[in-house]
Amino acid sequence: MIKLVVTDLDGTFLNNQGLFDIDLFNQVHAEMQQKGITFVACTGKQCERVEKLFGEHGKGIWILGDSAARIKKDGEVVKEFSIDRDLALQAIKEIQRFDSNMTLIVCTSDAAYVHSSIPEDMFNVVKGSYEHVIKIDSFSQIDSRFIKITVYDIEGRSSALREQVEQRLGGQIYIVDSEPRWLDITALHTHKGETVKKLQEMLAVTFEETMSFGDGENDVELMAIAKYSFAVSNACENTKKAASFITKSNEENGVLLTIQKIMDL
CATH classification of the domain holding 137:
3.30.1240.10
Of 187, 220, 245, the one marking the end of a domain is: 187
Q: Which of 194, 202, 175 is nearest to 94 (CA)?
A: 175
166 and 211 in a single domain? The answer is no
This prediction's pTM: 0.94
Q: For each successive 10 residues of the chain (265 residues), what is the average pLDDT?
A: 97 97 98 97 96 96 97 97 96 96 95 97 95 96 96 95 94 93 96 97 98 96 97 97 98 98 93
245-247 β-sheet, strand order: 76-80, 70-73, 62-65, 38-42, 4-7, 210-214, 228-232, 245-247
237 and 258 in a single domain? The answer is yes
Across-strand partners of 124? Answer: none
Report the domain count for the chain.
2
Residue 185: the pLDDT is 97
51 and 34 in a single domain? The answer is yes
105 and 171 in a single domain? The answer is yes
219 and 256 in a single domain? The answer is yes
Residue 27: the pLDDT is 97
66 and 195 in a single domain? The answer is yes
Residue 179: the pLDDT is 87
Which residues span the domain enclosing 25? 4-80+190-264
